[in-house]
Amino acid sequence: MGQSDRDTGPSRRRVLIGLGAGVAGAFAQEAAADAPMVNDAPHGDAQTAAQSVPFHGPHQAGITTPRPAAGIMVAFDLAITGPEDLDRMLRLLTERAEFLTQGGPVPERDPRLPPADSGLLGPVVAPDNQTITVALGDALFERFDWLRPLKPAHLQRMVQFPNDALVAGQCHGDMTIQFCANLQDTNIHALRDIMKNLSEFLVIRWMQQGDVPPVPPAPDGSTPSARNFFGFRDGSANPDSNDAALMDRIVWVGAEEPAWARGGSYQAVRLIRNFVERWDRTPLGEQERDFGRRKMSGAPLDGGPHATERDVPDYARDPEGKITPLDAHIRLANPRRPETEKNLILRRAFNYSNGVTKNGQLDQGLLFICYQADLDAGFIAVQNRLNGEKMEEYLKPFGGGYFFALPGVAGPGDYLGSGLIAAARSL
């Protein structure tokens, strides 16, 4: 159903009712017809549906662009044998991604054939802030002689950290696609489109869907961070993604990488279960000490009663951790010392809820995603500092992997990974 169908729905109803009731009763009937009906669709927003993120540029969208409410991370295994296959796949993927992120009418076919599109978004695909971010895994580079020499310098297979309980089927993969959009249906539409059009190349290995709850603006007009499933604001101290120079330093890879990779970024994905029942039975003070922040405001613990989540903690004045414990999550993750500047990462996580475990507990957690210019100095260094943190009692990482998000598509005619293909062909 398109926008126009939705618009004509109530008026058509009005006309029909009007015909039945006669002129005298028509006015009252009309009022009744305007009252919401049980099966009226929840009101969408034409303005947010029309939002689109530019597809072309030096970097892929979906990394430093604002994180919309819905995300899906999908890892694929690829059935390719040589550079020609990879080339065909990447070109086709680029074509689909460009259409899906920019929107447009879906082609019509003879009704005796399966339709070209799933139809989830109607005859005209609205961009709805869709981004499609493609990253390649260590497994892919390692499998082929013609790719191995081109592997980004820090790309590696994710290994088990002490608190992990990795599930083989939920780890690694040849490629990930991160889908982000205002509505989860938009992501699902894109995923189904890509699976349909690229079925000869890819099989899903694992996937995880997640959400960010929309948050109303604060009284001062600023946008507060959304809460994760521990009830804490998540993202407060994230580096400023509008600071291009900062992003060049901490997110986008540079000269130390193979030329084809410049403008790309390392993607670390972790599927981290949260033991929420246990967390909800933990005293508030302990919860706040575990994170190093106030639960309601998100402010650092060393702030006063009016402190906000944007305030910066001053650990130098608290060397023994009397206010912010030395093993608090934020203090371990970012000790804020000059020598830990190089460990900054850009986090872009989603909350997930997967139903219930065999034990009758809620299966909820964080689809943790972060981007960095150097995987070793970024995610791996930060996670190594976090090993043994207090919060581990409430966390169980069980999946994910390390990938390399390809550089952007420069413009029409270019395609995702074109530099990699050219490099592979000239080896």
Partner 1 sequence: MVAFHLKTTALALAFAAGMATQGMAAEPTLDLVGPLSEYKLYVAENTAQLVTDTEAFVAAIKAGDVEKAKSLFAPTRMSYERIEPIAELFSDLDGAIDARADDYEKAEADEAFTGFHRIEYALWVESSTDPVQGYADQLLTDVKALDARINELTFPPEVVVGGAAALMEEVAATKISGEEDRYSRTDLWDFDANFAGSEKIYDLLKPLIAEKDPAFVTKTDANFKAVDDVLAKYRKDGGYVSYVELTDADRTVLSTRVNTLAEDLSTLRGMLGLN
Residues that bind partner 1 (CB under 8 A): 77-79, 107, 109-110, 112-114, 195-196, 199-203
Quote the least distance from Cβ 352 to ligand HEM, whole Å: 10
For position 366 contacting ligand HEM by CB under 6 A, the verdict is yes
User: Residue 221 CB: number of other CB atoms within 10 A?
Assistant: 6
What is the contact mask toward ligand HEM in residues 313 to 332, using x (rule: CB under 6 A)? ----------------xx--
Q: Does the footprint of ligand HEM cover residue 235 (CB under 6 A)?
A: yes
202 touches, from ligand HEM, partner 1, none (C-beta below 5 to 8 Å by class): partner 1
Closest to ligand HEM by CB, 267 or 334:
334
Determine if residue 334 is labeled as part of a ligand binding site: yes
Single out the residue of 129, 187, 383, 418 in contact with ligand HEM (rule: CB under 6 A). 383
Q: Measured from the CB of residue 143, what is the shortest distance to ligand HEM in angstroms?
A: 27
Closest CA to 294 of 328, 319, 318: 328
d(CA 39, CA 299): 42
Concatenated DSSP letters of 70-105? EEEEEEEEE---SHHHHHHHHHHHHHHHHHHHH-EE
Number of chain positions touching ligand HEM (CB under 6 A): 28
Q: Which of residues 345-364 bind ligand HEM (CB under 6 A)?
A: 345, 347
**Nearer to partner 1 (CB atom), residue 173 or residue 303:** 173
379 lies in the site for ligand HEM, by CB under 6 A: yes
- By CB under 6 A, is residue 291 in contact with ligand HEM? yes
Give CA–CA dist 285/10, Å, rounded.
52
156 three-class SS: coil
Is residue 266 close enough to count as binding ligand HEM by CB under 6 A?
Answer: no
CA neighbor of 158 nearest in space, from 179, 139, 134: 139
Stretches 151-159, 249-257, 266-274, 401-409: which one binds ligand HEM (CB under 6 A)? Answer: 266-274
Task: Check if the beta carbon of residue 372 is closer than 8 Å to that of residue 244.
Answer: no
- Yes or no: say if 172 and 138 are a contact pair by the CB < 8 Å rule: yes
Identify the CA nearest to 129 among candidates 73, 179, 193.
179
Residue 110, binding choice from partner 1, ligand HEM, none, Cβ under 5 to 8 Å by partner class: partner 1
Is 235 labelled a binding residue?
yes
In this structure, what are the phi and psi dihedrals at residue 257, rounded to the nearest 5 degrees? -105, 160
On whether 237 is known to bind a ligand per the annotation, the reply is yes
Spatial CB neighbours of 418, under 8 Å, sequence gap ≥ 6: 90, 409
Using the minimum distance from each CB to ligand HEM, give the nearer residue, 170 or 238: 238
Write down the H helix ranges in 151-267: 184-197, 244-250
Q: Provide the greatest CA pair distance for the chain.
A: 83
Name residue, tokens 């460009």. Answer: 98
Q: Taking CB within 5 to 8 Å according to partner kind, which of partner 1, ligand HEM, none is near residue 73?
A: none
Does 226 contact ligand HEM by CB under 6 A? no
Residue stretches of the annotated binding site for protoporphyrin IX: 235-237, 293
Q: In the complex, which residues of this chain contact ligand HEM (CB under 6 A)?
A: 228, 230, 232-238, 270, 272, 274, 291, 293, 329-330, 333-334, 345, 347, 365-366, 368, 379, 382-383, 386, 395
